[in-house]
């Protein structure tokens, strides 16, 4: 099991970036990258998302020491970001939770990526329809 700092350092090294280059790509100082790689310092949520995107790994991988697959959960990220852009951080957490729970349906089975994508898209559309209906019914507080 690797912790956050080990995962950041390893992913950066695989991309052949130095700490300064990674900092520039993410929008943080070299000092911040050094802290991520050598201490228990973790970035804010928005910086964490940029860091994961730049390192081409999932946020779940970086934040969960139990996860060893750098791409674990990466297929749900576009849906999470769409929910965030439409309804904010709470909606992003909600759709992330839904997607994570639904991903368990695929454990141990053989299913094509196209089928998984279609399933996640259907879950996302159902979620957005429910949010829109709640917004119409209850107003802005439903967000």
Task: Output the tens digit of pLDDT for each of the chain's 143 residues.
Answer: 899 999 999 999 999 999 999 999 999 999 999 999 999 899 999 999 999 999 999 999 999 999 999 998 888 899 999 999 999 999 999 999 988 887 777 766 677 878 888 888 999 999 999 998 988 888 765 45
Assigned architecture for domain 4-63: Orthogonal Bundle (1.10)
Residue with tokens 């368990």: 104
Residue owning tokens 């196209």: 114
- pTM greater than 0.85: no
Confirm if 61 and 7 have CB atoms less than 8 A apart.
Answer: yes
Phi, psi of 41 (to 5 degrees): -65, 130
Q: Which long-range contacts (CB under 8 A, 24 or more apart) does 31-35 make?
A: 33/8
d(CA 81, CA 85): 6
Structure tokens given for 84: 């965030």
């Amino acid at each position: 099991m690797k912790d956050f700092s080990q995962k950041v350092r390893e992913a950066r090294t695989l991309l052949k970036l130095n700490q300064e280059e990674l900092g520039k790509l993410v929008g943080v100082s070299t000092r911040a990258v050094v802290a991520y790689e050598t201490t228990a310092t973790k970035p804010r949520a928005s910086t964490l998302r940029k860091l994961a995107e730049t390192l081409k790994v999932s946020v779940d991988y970086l934040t969960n020491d139990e996860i060893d697959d750098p791409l674990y959960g990466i297929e749900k990220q576009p849906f999470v970001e769409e929910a965030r852009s439409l309804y904010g951080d709470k909606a992003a957490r909600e759709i992330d939770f839904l997607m994570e729970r639904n991903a368990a349906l695929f454990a141990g089975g053989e299913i094509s990526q196209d089928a998984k994508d279609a399933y996640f898209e259907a879950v996302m559309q159902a979620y957005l329809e429910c949010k829109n209906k709640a917004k119409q019914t209850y107003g802005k507080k439903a967000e």
